[in-house]
Chains A and B, each alone.
Chain A
Amino acid sequence: MAQQLYYLAAFMLILIASTAYYIAASILAPRPRRQGEATLPYACGEKGREAKSLDPPYPLVLIVFTIAESVPIASFFCVTQDRLALLPLLVAAFAPPLLVTGRRHERS
């Protein structure tokens, strides 16, 4: 438990130092000269067209990331805990996304 607390404390120290650098840089850097005249991001196409902005797929990214990360980690725990019977199930769960990704890009 003490070891985990050291890890947490070390990470928090790094995080605080990085945040301090970021805040110091934001205080010391000059203000944008044309602040208040900011424009929307450029749209693809002619300048006359209405500018486009995309809504970021935050939840989707989080879900895909969690699923993708959990498979190898879960596999390791299966092996190290002698629960090898679960491994084929994990491989079976991981195979369809890989096949779909491969096929989609073969078609494109």
Chain B
Amino acid sequence: MNVLELFVTALIYPGLLTAVSLALSFEALKRKIEARMQNRMGPTYTGLRGLAQPLIDLVKLLGKEDITPLTMHEAVAAAALVWSISLAVFACLLLPWGLGGLEDMGYNALLVPVCLSLAAALLGLASLSTRSPYSVIGGLRFIGLLMSYDIGLISLVGVAYAATGSLNMDVIRAKLWEGLVHKPFLFPLWLLALLVGFILVQADLGEDPFTIAEAETEVAGGFEAEFSGRKLAFMRLGHEVHGVTALLFYVSLLLAPQPSRGVFAIISLLAVGLVIAFLSIIVDASTPRIRLKDMIKLSWGYLVPLSILIAFLSLMLGGAAS
């Protein structure tokens, strides 16, 4: 790989530009579908049928004045936001796109969710740096909940590892189905992982019913309360890139769209991602927000232990069979 290829990989495909475009496309799609489900038009003015509205919103926020509380640790907030978005984009770069990108180091199935967790924790850290009671409470909620979802996602890697014997994302995407055919006893665990993973991705995307961290009625905007201008733009974009990357990670890990190499690998990954995104938007538009107490009980009390149990059983059964 020469320097030019490295620049293109990191900044255009499948790096920064691709990750940001995917995040904004998901946001546009969500706004249009949700509006239709609620008997509204949604954005109509900017771009084709209003689909460029999230991009314009981002540009507008970047150009707004930045009002910060006196108590804010300005450097911590700025560094946390920039590092968070960079880590989320880097995780997107490491997905098994099937064409181009960086060669897998052999354990990217663990590296991607770890980068995502760190990105989420840094967003929470940015909230804490404001030292405002609203933001600190919102930030702690956000960190606690997002960490639980990401730990669940890391655990679900166990199913893919048991089926394929590898933590290399390219190998997992190429051999998952073959592995499940050869080890049919893993099939029920894979189905369970698929369901748990979808719930975790829904939470990672920050969609209903898991929007408690930013509940306006409870903590006046939650972790975003004291942010405006470019900081709010970076925070929202970071959260969206994080969510979309988590969704594509889930698709690559547990659905492994075929073919796994070539141009059609990119198309199949995005097509299956689109179907899951559509399901996620339908769930978002049709479910109410659940209370914090129930959310914590669900995530740390059920989803995380269940994910660990699925991983444990898969690894035991998969290891015993091989």
Mark A residues whose CB is within 8 Å of B. 3-4, 6-7, 9-11, 13-15, 17-19, 21-22, 25-26, 28-33, 38-44, 52-58, 61, 64-65, 68-69, 71-73, 75-76, 79-80, 84, 87, 91, 94, 98, 101-102, 105-106, 108
Contacts and interface: CB of A to CB of B under 8 A. Distances in A.
Given A41-B71, A53-B71, A14 B301 contact: no
20 contacts: A9-B6, A10-B93, A11-B10, A13-B7, A15-B82, A17-B10, A18-B16, A22-B234, A29-B66, A30-B63, A41-B135, A56-B73, A56-B139, A61-B143, A76-B158, A76-B161, A80-B161, A98-B300, A98-B301, A106-B297
Nearest to B70: A38
A98 B85 CA distance: 30
B66 A105 contact: no
Nearest to A94: B308
A26 B66 contact: yes
Given A68-B151, A69-B114, A73-B110, A40 B71 contact: yes
Given A10-B6, A22-B234, A41 B69 contact: yes
Contact of A14 (B63, B65, B90, B157): B90
Contact of B132 (A38, A41, A75): A41
Dominant secondary structure of chain B at its interface with chain A = helix
Dominant secondary structure of chain A at its interface with chain B = helix
Max chain A Cβ within 10 angstroms of own Cβ: one of B71, B297, B311: B71
B228 to A, nearest CB: 9
Contacts of A39: 69-70
Interface residues of B, number: 74
Given A13-B10, A22-B234, A54-B136, A32 B83 contact: no
Contact of B65 (A4, A30, A71): A30
A38 B68 CA distance: 8
B112 to A, nearest CB: 12
Contact of B147 (A29, A40, A53, A68): A68
B151 A10 contact: no
Nearest to A101: B300
B319 interface: yes
Contacts of A15: 82-83, 86
A107 to B, nearest CB: 10
A6 to B, nearest CB: 6
B186 interface: no
Contacts of A106: 297
Nearest to B69: A41
Given A13-B7, A31-B65, A79 B90 contact: no
Contacts of A58: 125, 128
A53 B132 CA distance: 5
A101 B90 CA distance: 32
B213 interface: no
Interface string B131-175: 111111001100100010001001101100100000100000000
A41 B82 CA distance: 24
Given A10-B93, A69-B114, A22 B81 contact: yes
A52 B130 CA distance: 12
Contacts of A4: 105
Interface string B76-95: 00100111011001100100
Contacts of A31: 65
A25 B230 contact: yes
